[in-house]
């Protein structure tokens, strides 16, 4: 496990560079380093993977060179923030590659709503969705809003929202959200969504949900006595409620149960879920991550998966030291990914 490193995926799209900026900003705040990964597979590379150029199918050398150029730009974003960043080129289907890499990191950051391949490959369908199948939490950083307007990302987190329920992954999401908010000195808004038919105007009915939520928050108040917590009980649909919260919070944290449930709402290609509409980064706590943690506790091992399941990464990972892009290129990328970039220089 790379406990002190955040993994960020890039593909040459502005969305992936924006994810790199968010990851670098968070890494700087937490005293962590970055591992920037560019993944591609041939022959699908030319058709769907990179946003930068078109390369003849099967031309691995050209794909490798493009990957190096992409990594140099991403490294410039990290270097500009004073964050140590290593670079990797990985050959293989991006979905499978990042699921496999998720066994070795505590956090992966990817972009969303950009042109080109990585977000599409990793988020496009439930069956290939990284947040649904990863072994570590995933932060999905939006590039634009629903009207294709560029979104500004704050470099200081002041308000964190978390969707709260009593599932194992929901409870773990609450803990992670509390830790995240405390690390920034931010406020935590704990949101419980109840069925739309619930009459919250009935004091007795509302009190039942408040009692359950208070019990859920007891351990959080013990571990974070100074954390400012706001409780919200809302009747309606979870996706709509959390999407609304994304417009007033710097990040939204949710638990994911895999197929169906909340993940089905968030990641199904036929639905309009939170990841498709959020105006702020979404921190997803997957079911496999929670189960892997439980397994580590039971076995006392460093990994929560059976040894037979772990694949050697050396076969398809190439560490590639790259020079950072020029300052002019880096400044242009900042302008392209955020119209307010000059405000946090």
pLDDT of res. 115: 46
252 or 50, which is more confident: 252
The DSSP symbol for 37 reads E
Q: Are 227 and 219 in contact (CB under 8 A)?
A: no
What pLDDT digit, counting tens, does each position of 272-299 carry?
368 888 899 999 998 888 888 888 777 7
What pLDDT digit, counting tens, does each position of 103-121 carry?
889 999 998 865 444 555 5
Confidence of residue 269 (pLDDT cuts 50, 70, 90): very low
What pLDDT digit, counting tens, does each position of 151-201 carry?
888 889 999 999 988 888 889 999 999 999 999 999 999 999 888 888 888
Q: Torsions phi, psi of 141, nearest 5?
A: -100, 120
Mean pLDDT of 122-150: 75
285 or 314, which is more confident: 285
pLDDT of res. 121: 52
81 or 313, which is more confident: 81
> Is 29 a residue whose pLDDT tops 90?
yes
pTM of the prediction?
A: 0.84
Q: Are 279 and 245 in contact (CB under 8 A)?
A: no
pLDDT of res. 45: 44
Percentage of residues in the chain having pLDDT higher than 90: 39
Mean predicted lDDT score pLDDT of the chain: 80
Out of 5-14, 44-53, 249-258, which region has the weakest mean confidence (pLDDT)?
44-53
pLDDT of res. 127: 31
What is residue 316's three-state secondary structure?
coil
Q: Are 256 and 286 in contact (CB under 8 A)?
A: yes
pLDDT of res. 49: 41
Q: Are 101 and 310 in contact (CB under 8 A)?
A: no
Q: What span, in angstroms and rounded, lies between the C-alpha atoms of 276 and 260? A: 17
Q: Torsions phi, psi of 42, nearest 5?
A: -110, 140
pLDDT of res. 259: 47
Mean pLDDT of 247-261: 78
Q: Are 51 and 13 in contact (CB under 8 A)?
A: yes
pLDDT of res. 65: 83
CA dihedral 213, 181, 21, 86 (to 10 degrees): -100
pLDDT of res. 221: 96
> Is 74 a residue whose pLDDT tops 90?
yes
Out of 71-75, 175-179, 256-260, which region has the weakest mean confidence (pLDDT)?
256-260
CA dihedral 7, 178, 288, 262 (to 10 degrees): -110
Q: What span, in angstroms and rounded, lies between the C-alpha atoms of 326 and 86? A: 17
pLDDT of res. 57: 45
> Is 245 a residue whose pLDDT tops 70?
yes
**In sequence order, what are the residues at sequence separation of 6 or more whose Cβ sits closer than 8 angstroms to the Cβ of residue 324?**
72, 75, 76, 79, 330
Q: Are 114 and 51 in contact (CB under 8 A)?
A: yes
Q: Sheet of 229-235: strands edge to edge?
A: 229-235, 187-194, 159-163, 251-256, 282-286, 138-142, 108-112, 5-10, 33-40, 85-91, 317-319
Out of 61-65, 166-170, 211-215, 337-341, which region has the weakest mean confidence (pLDDT)?
337-341
Confidence of residue 270 (pLDDT cuts 50, 70, 90): very low
pLDDT of res. 42: 62
In angstroms, what CA-CA distances link 247 with 14, 250, 277, 279, 301? 21, 8, 10, 5, 40
Q: What span, in angstroms and rounded, lies between the C-alpha atoms of 269 and 127? A: 9
pLDDT of res. 55: 45
């Amino acid at each position: 496990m790379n406990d002190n490193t955040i993994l960020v995926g890039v593909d040459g799209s502005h969305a992936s560079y924006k994810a790199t900026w968010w990851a670098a900003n968070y890494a700087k705040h937490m005293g962590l380093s970055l591992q920037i990964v560019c993944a591609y597979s041939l022959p699908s590379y030319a058709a769907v993977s990179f946003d930068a150029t078109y390369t003849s199918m099967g031309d691995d050398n050209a794909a490798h060179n493009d990957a190096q150029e992409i990594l140099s730009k991403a490294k410039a974003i990290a270097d500009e923030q004073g964050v140590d960043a290593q670079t990797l080129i990985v050959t293989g289907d991006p979905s499978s590659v990042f699921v496999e890499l998720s066994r070795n990191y505590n956090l992966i950051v990817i972009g969303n709503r950009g042109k080109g391949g990585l977000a599409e490959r990793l988020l496009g369908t439930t069956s290939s969705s990284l947040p649904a199948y990863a072994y570590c939490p995933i932060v999905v950083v939006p590039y634009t809003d629903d009207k294709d307007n560029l979104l500004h990302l704050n470099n200081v987190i002041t308000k964190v929202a978390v969707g709260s329920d009593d599932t194992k992954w929901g409870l773990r999401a609450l803990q992670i959200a509390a830790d995240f908010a405390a690390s920034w000195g931010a406020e935590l808004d704990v949101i419980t969504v109840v069925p739309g038919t619930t009459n919250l105007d009935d004091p007795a009915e509302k009190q039942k949900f408040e009692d359950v939520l208070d019990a859920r928050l007891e351990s959080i108040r013990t571990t974070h006595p100074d954390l400012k917590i706001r409780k919200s009980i809302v009747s309606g649909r979870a996706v709509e409620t959390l999407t609304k919260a994304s417009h007033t919070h710097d990040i939204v944290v949710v638990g994911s149960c895999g197929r169906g449930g909340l993940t089905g709402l968030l990641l199904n290609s036929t639905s309009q879920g939170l990841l498709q509409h959020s105006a702020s980064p979404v921190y997803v706590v997957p079911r496999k991550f929670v189960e892997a943690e439980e397994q580590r506790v039971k076995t006392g091992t460093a990994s929560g998966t059976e040894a037979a399941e772990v694949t050697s990464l050396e076969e398809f990972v190439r560490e590639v030291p790259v020079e950072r892009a020029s300052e002019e290129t880096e400044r242009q990328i900042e302008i392209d990914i955020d119209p307010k970039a000059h405000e946090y220089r």
